[in-house]
Structure 1
Amino acid sequence: MAQDRLDWTEIGSASCPFNASVCLNTGIDANVRLETPFIPVSDLGINAATKLQMKRSLTCSVLNTEAFQEPAKQGLEDVEFTLVFGTHENYEYDVRDLSTVAPGYRLTTIPQTASNPPALDSRLRVPGGFVTVVLLQAPGVYFPKSVNDPMFSAHQAHIFPTSGLRWAADNVVGVAGCVDQYLICNNATGGCSSWASPEDLLTVTVSDNAPLIKSAADQRALDMLQYVLTSTSLQYTITGRGSSALAAQRALQSQNQERLSPRPWKEEVNTWFGVSLAKLQMSVLSIAYPTPFLSTDAFAAFPASSYTDQLCKMIKSREGGYTNLHWPGFIATLVVSCVVGAA
């Protein structure tokens, strides 16, 4: 049975998954790794005669901005420098000081894209993981006290006539790299996959001793799981939401951060991971499988287009005994109609 909430834990002493030369590795929360326990696919709402279980993880590490910093291109106004995370222009980010022009939080993501050869900086590539670069700016945001945090670091003192002493961010931009991964095991066989990217199809290794997939039900459950995982990485959790994806944004009044978690970067990563797990559960419920006694000749296992995907999402989840015709209600309506008509 599908669960209302999926739990996770923080893995202590997490290490940076990237090349050591680009990792900041300073501060208590410079590296944050979150993992779910093994979750039976039935807890996700997948009804299949299978013992498949999934573990989901997110690892975020604050990066050394200087490792990616290059001079701004000629002709670009107000650009202080450019951050380059790969060989394609999609991996470039022009950094501007917006404190006097457009104060407030700026949250941007640069996702890993499929290309051959890979365009993502080799220092950021993680085999079996999907990488998203997260950029956080807080121009013109003032904190009530200094902040010791790898992403929200603020020690620049400012005195205002009305609010008194306030603190501004130390850096014009903070950068982190996050890696989404998942792992599948089959409790019936003892077989497990390696950690994999939710954006890639899982390579199933056939083993006589402990196969991951042993039945058609196993395969159907795996197919559905891989389909819904593709839209649950950090990139899809943040994209389109901007600064509203930040928990800190909720306590920002004008340019004043009224309150802030004692460990804000860790709180943000936990919030995003929770949203991604909720998206995973909702995505499962958006897919309709055929009723067993109906023909599957015209049934498409998964939405083939955005249009059919939208149609599938309009289908409501019902229990097995549900019918769309309530006979007592129908008869009562018919009787009342006849009485009214006779009168």
Structure 2
Amino acid sequence: MVSSGNFYVQPEYVHRRGWTNWNGNAITGGKITMTKDTAELLNIFIGIFLVFAQAGLWDLIKFWCFILNRRLRKGTTSAPRDLIFHQQQTVLRSRGSPVSLAIAYGKMWKTYGWSEWKIIRRTWPLIGAATLSFGIFLVGVPFITAWILLDNQGVEVLIRSPNCGFWTAVFTDTESDNAAMTILTNQSWEAVSYVDSCYNSDAPSTLCDKFLPQRRLPTFEWSATPCPFDVDVCLHTNDVPAFKMQTEMLDSHKDFGINAPHSDRIQIQRTTICSPLNVTRFTNITKGIVTGEEITGVYFGPVTGENYTFAVSNLEKLATSGYHLSAVSNYVANGTTYSSTFTPIKELTLTNADVSVIFLNNNGIPIRGIDGPITDPFFSATTPSPYDKRFYYPDSPITAIGCTDQYVFGNPVKNQWTDPLPAGTDWANYTKDWGLTPLQSATIATFIWALGQTGAIDRVIMGLETEALLAKKYPGVFAGFQNPISDSQWKKEVDYWFKNGLAKLQLQLISIATGPPDPKLPGLQNALPIISYGRDDLVDKICGWQKVYNVEFKNYHRTGFIVLVVIGSLLVLVPIPAQWIYTAFGRPDEDLSSWNSYEPLKLMGIVSKDASQHEQRNREHDEISTVVEIELLMQGQDNGGPPATEAAPDPAPQAGQV
């Protein structure tokens, strides 16, 4: 993972205890987060734990099979207790693992006849049970534990950083200004890097697919729309209508990772409309201070200290070759301007949207045509080069695009929505009667701060300048000439800026949760303590609910893990007092006496095992299991002939046995 700014969350900022991922409910979404090393170590202990749990379960199965088999052959009307019965009981009492029991029962089946139905009926069920137990605990349960309880739980984690807050860079002195500008520039570079990698490319990567909750925020298809400004300032023809870009209703949990159940979620939508502007009508050319210099100025409203909005000198292209991209903005709140870098003329003044104007100084860069001149309004070049007819010179040194940005907040629980309004709107006043939950209020507060920090289209240009120009990257500028572009390049540019704005919003929420890399930098201030004064619950909800993906961690399914531990512990512990529990509920003592009576047979089998194997090594007929030999001797049979199946009594209880 890229370890730059908002692209990396420090491991110490990750919550490592139980929590609920509200992708599901309280049961299915329960997680226990731990590092990968801890998870692997825990898996080893769980594997050992499962061995003991399987042994305990098998002891219970053998005990109850022993009792059931004895009950079925008890009394004069029951099936006789023949030699096979005693062999079954001996194996149940003496065989510790399901594998050894399955092998012993398999030998019985082989010895007494492969096709005998009564033999199959008396051996196959235990063979199947033993095989199933072995398969479940040595194959199935480890697979369930490793995949369903661990690997299938994803790598989403909660951020819990002590530096969480609403941090802002304050321009107060030279040192603070430098820090503030660095932070703002880095945020823009992070966003453009993310857009280039994840929005404009489908290549899989950890950054794009295993970091933010959504690789791309979902949007509607772009569409043509009327120009949002006065008709006099819009370059309004049928060929170049305004261009509308709009997100879907973005869910605070699903799209931004603010962890919350459905009842605590908020939705937000961004709409951006851009249109080429009629620069020619608002352009004035004046003489410069140098002989032969001409200043081309565009007058969309004055900026600080100047009457024009943007101006270039005809001598600038002699000093530098390359594009120059700049932006001005006017932010409004509740119908009045509260922050601006220019005072827009009435044709560009809006009270219900934030306005950005982006200027391109092409510096006379020739553009190679595809099938003739370039008629794109932002890169218009229709004058053929006298040196190479394939290239065309720009029609004007300055072109401009105007954009508006509006937002809608919604409460999906009660189907309540605001009107499309600028980011600086008093949203608390608009939503005061919605009956929001505390977490919904905290989420809206988080979004309001994030929108204020990321800004409109102009903030994308700030810090990036020409690096925000898509044509410079692709198809690119080579040897001072612009490679061929389409006649709708301006739409690609505003689409690129819009995506950068979305990426900045995604990353800003992570920045709020983690805080700045170095909160001690001069000029940084945390406004959250002031905003949340007297409301500690608000801080907890803002700073404790942000999710990201982090491949350095793993999650265990909390409910599944608890169930595994509880059931496994019971399987390990219950067999120890099983006989006492059996008698405590009034069960016959003779069942336990019979169970204990078969214990010496186990010892006899151990003692005679080697001798029995020696005696039968050279025999031509099939070898009979050690347990079968012992039983034959107990019943007075000669093991040189076929096994007998007459009824035989239970072994007498040994002295001192209960």
TM norm. shorter chain > 0.5: yes
> Is contact 2:323–2:362 with CA below 8 Å preserved after alignment?
yes
Alignment of 1:77-96 (within 5 A): 78-89=293-304, 92-96=309-313
Q: Which residue of 2 aligns with 1:134?
A: 358
Tell me how many residue pairs correspond in the alignment.
Answer: 299
CA 80–30 in structure 1, closer or farther in 2 if over 3 Å, else same: farther
Is 1:28 paired with 2:246? Answer: no
> Aligned equivalents of 1:106 and 1:10: distance in 2?
30
> Is contact 2:259–2:547 with CA below 8 Å preserved after alignment?
no
Q: Which residue of 2 aligns with 1:238?
A: 461
> Is contact 1:26–1:150 with CA below 8 Å preserved after alignment?
no
CA 108–289 in structure 1, closer or farther in 2 if over 3 Å, else same: closer
Q: Secondary structure at the match of 1:112?
A: strand
> Is contact 1:62–1:177 with CA below 8 Å preserved after alignment?
yes
CA 198–148 in structure 1, closer or farther in 2 if over 3 Å, else same: same
> Aligned equivalents of 1:121 and 1:39: distance in 2?
34
Structure 1 gap ranges (5+): 291-299, 305-311, 324-343
Q: 164, 176, 193: which is aligned to 2:418?
A: 193
C-alpha deviations, 1:267-296, integer Å up to 9, x for none?
A: 001111111111111111112289xxxxxx
Is 1:54 paired with 2:271? Answer: no
Q: 195, 204, 219: which is aligned to 2:441?
A: 219
CA-based RMSD: 3.2
Q: Which residue of 2 aligns with 1:340?
A: none
Once the two structures are TM-superposed, the CA of residue 220 in structure 1 deviates from its matched residue by 0.5
Once the two structures are TM-superposed, the CA of residue 75 in structure 1 deviates from its matched residue by 4.3
CA 316–10 in structure 1, closer or farther in 2 if over 3 Å, else same: closer
Alignment of 1:75-154 (within 5 A): 75=289, 78-89=293-304, 92-97=309-314, 98-112=316-330, 114=337, 119-145=343-369, 146-154=373-381
Specify the structure having the higher radius of gyration (Cα): 2
Once the two structures are TM-superposed, the CA of residue 116 in structure 1 deviates from its matched residue by 9.4
Once the two structures are TM-superposed, the CA of residue 71 in structure 1 deviates from its matched residue by 5.0
| Higher relative contact order (Cα pairs below 8 Å, separated by 6+ residues) | 2
Once the two structures are TM-superposed, the CA of residue 10 in structure 1 deviates from its matched residue by 4.1
Q: Which amino acid in 2 is paired with 1:94?
A: A
Alignment of 1:291-302 (within 5 A): 302=528
Structure 1 range deviating more: 112-121 or 271-280: 112-121
> Is contact 2:257–2:548 with CA below 8 Å preserved after alignment?
no
Q: Which amino acid in 2 is paired with 1:280?
A: L
> Is contact 2:356–2:404 with CA below 8 Å preserved after alignment?
yes
> Aligned equivalents of 1:58 and 1:272: distance in 2?
10
Once the two structures are TM-superposed, the CA of residue 183 in structure 1 deviates from its matched residue by 0.7
Is 1:273 paired with 2:498? Answer: yes
> Is contact 1:130–1:197 with CA below 8 Å preserved after alignment?
yes
Q: Which amino acid in 2 is paired with 1:149?
A: D
Alignment of 1:12-23 (within 5 A): 12-23=223-234
> Aligned equivalents of 2:529 and 2:384: distance in 1?
54
Higher percent of residues as strand:
1
CA 139–73 in structure 1, closer or farther in 2 if over 3 Å, else same: closer
TM-score, normalized by length of structure 2?
0.42
> Aligned equivalents of 1:124 and 1:242: distance in 2?
22
Structure 2 gap ranges (5+): 1-22, 24-212, 332-336, 516-525, 531-542, 555-658
Q: Which amino acid in 2 is paired with 1:248?
A: A
Is 1:249 paired with 2:460? Answer: no
Q: Which amino acid in 1 is paired with 2:283?
A: Q
Identity within the alignment, %: 25
> Aligned equivalents of 1:318 and 1:69: distance in 2?
50
> Is contact 1:85–1:92 with CA below 8 Å preserved after alignment?
yes
> Aligned equivalents of 2:392 and 2:259: distance in 1?
53
Q: Which residue of 1 aligns with 2:405?
A: 180
Once the two structures are TM-superposed, the CA of residue 240 in structure 1 deviates from its matched residue by 1.4
CA 83–172 in structure 1, closer or farther in 2 if over 3 Å, else same: same
Once the two structures are TM-superposed, the CA of residue 99 in structure 1 deviates from its matched residue by 3.8
Q: Secondary structure at the match of 2:493?
A: helix
> Is contact 1:24–1:63 with CA below 8 Å preserved after alignment?
yes
Q: Secondary structure at the match of 1:3?
A: coil
Higher percent of residues as helix:
2
Q: Secondary structure at the match of 1:151?
A: coil
CA 318–137 in structure 1, closer or farther in 2 if over 3 Å, else same: closer
Structure 1 range deviating more: 148-157 or 20-29: 20-29
CA 247–21 in structure 1, closer or farther in 2 if over 3 Å, else same: same
Q: Secondary structure at the match of 1:56?
A: strand
> Aligned equivalents of 1:69 and 1:29: distance in 2?
20
Q: Which residue of 2 aligns with 1:229?
A: 451
> Is contact 2:321–2:363 with CA below 8 Å preserved after alignment?
yes
C-alpha deviations, 1:47-90, integer Å up to 9, x for none?
A: 23423111111111111113433454774773433222224436
> Is contact 1:30–1:150 with CA below 8 Å preserved after alignment?
no
TM-score, normalized by length of structure 1?
0.77
Q: Secondary structure at the match of 1:54?
A: strand
Q: 513, 519, 526: which is aligned to 1:288?
A: 513
Once the two structures are TM-superposed, the CA of residue 143 in structure 1 deviates from its matched residue by 1.6
CA 9–302 in structure 1, closer or farther in 2 if over 3 Å, else same: same
Q: Which amino acid in 1 is paired with 2:504?
A: K
